[in-house]
Amino acid sequence: MRFEFSVVKDFRSLRGARLEWAPGLNLILGPNGSGKTNLLESLNVLAGWGTFHGRTSGAVSWDSERGRALLGARVTGEEDHELQVQVSTRMTPRLDGKHVTFTDLRLVVPSMTFLPTDINLVEGSPAVRRLFLDRLCALCFPPYARRLSEFHQVSRHRATLLRQDRPIRGTTLPFARLGGWIMEARRRVASLLLKLEDPADVCAALPFSFSMTPELEDRSGEECLLRALEETSERERYAQRPLVGPNRDDLEITSFGRPAAEALSRGQKRRLVLSLILRAGRLIELQLRRKPVLLFDDLAAELDAAARQEAGTALLTTGWQIFVTGTEDPFEGLVDVKHLLPL
């Protein structure tokens, strides 16, 4: 799938614009504060992911006459659709004029967004890698986002009961069932990622592997969590919060038999991150049978000149629609389609 054009009105600093998008690599260029990230965020909302930080506060221009923002787009490719999201105190998505959920939008135009912190998948904290897996799982397994939200609710409720020194027995089975399902889904996606080929082959000579920690030890996720909850019950009471569950997951990336963060040079780490992103796109394409859309905010900030050229060449070979923001052309003439801001 791809965006043919998008329309934005009163969204953050963007008062009103209609932009035509190319099928391949699109550059969104402009000085700091010109609205590049806001424009990328509008596409993120239209693709069913919401705002970058999950909040609607501040998303509507402060001087909007109607107190709301309107986003729209036409997507084409495997199918043709009209998308629209109205943003006020909440977000109201529509697909071809009908009210839908954000899950519906995500399945129509599957996309992955990478902010500067997300690019640091190798050296970053486990939370960065969990977010990467959560996005992929939400696309590959439609119930995933809802079950993850339900798990967080159960986990918060359990923590509240622990702080109040009240019985927690009623939360144990829902916690284990939802948490176990989430852990199994993440491990399935990690396994699929490892088996896939990088579309651009940017890590052909770099051996690496993935594994999820903690391991499930040939048990179901539910069984492992039930046992872990029992083993940590006393410490959990003392800590007044759950000590096990999907929030402890990590995607362990190794190379040359060592953690990739220790074994690889900075340039190799950047290549490995690019390979992970491209493999994620390939997995989306195979699972949903639709070409993905990739959104990168300030990709060049984490790459030197040689790495930028390598990244640009790799992205161009995918055949997917890709958006990259920057203060200047990060790919030095590889791309002709550029949108200059402010609008």
Model pLDDT for residues 224-276, shown as the tens digit of each residue:
999 999 999 999 999 999 999 999 999 999 999 899 999 998 888 888 888 89
Residue pLDDT, tens place only, 103-141? 999 999 999 999 887 778 998 899 999 999 999 999 999
Distance, first Cα to last Cα, the chain: 25
The predicted pLDDT at position 207 comes to 87
Are 275 and 92 in contact by the 8 Å Cβ rule? The answer is no
More confident residue, 204 or 77: 77
Q: How far is CA 294 from CA 45, 52, 209, 229, 323, in A?
A: 13, 14, 23, 39, 6
Domains and CATH numbers, the chain: 1-110+290-343 (3.40.50.300), 122-289 (1.20.1050.90)
The neighbouring-strand residues paired with 71 are 8, 85
pTM: 0.90
The neighbouring-strand residues paired with 295 are 113, 323
Residue pLDDT, tens place only, 10-35? 999 888 889 999 999 999 988 888 88
What is the rounded average pLDDT of the residues 64-91?
A: 93
pLDDT at 180 over 80: yes
If you search the block for the tokens 């300030």, which residue do you land on? 298
The predicted pLDDT at position 198 comes to 82
The predicted pLDDT at position 332 comes to 79
Torsion angle of the four alpha carbons 280, 282, 283, 284, in this order, in degrees rounded to the nearest 10: 90
Q: Is 90 exposed, middle or buried (0-12, 13-18, 19+ CB in 10 A)?
A: exposed
Half-sphere exposure of 39 (CA within 13 A, CB side): 32
- In percent, how much of the chain has pLDDT > 90? 66
The predicted pLDDT at position 343 comes to 61
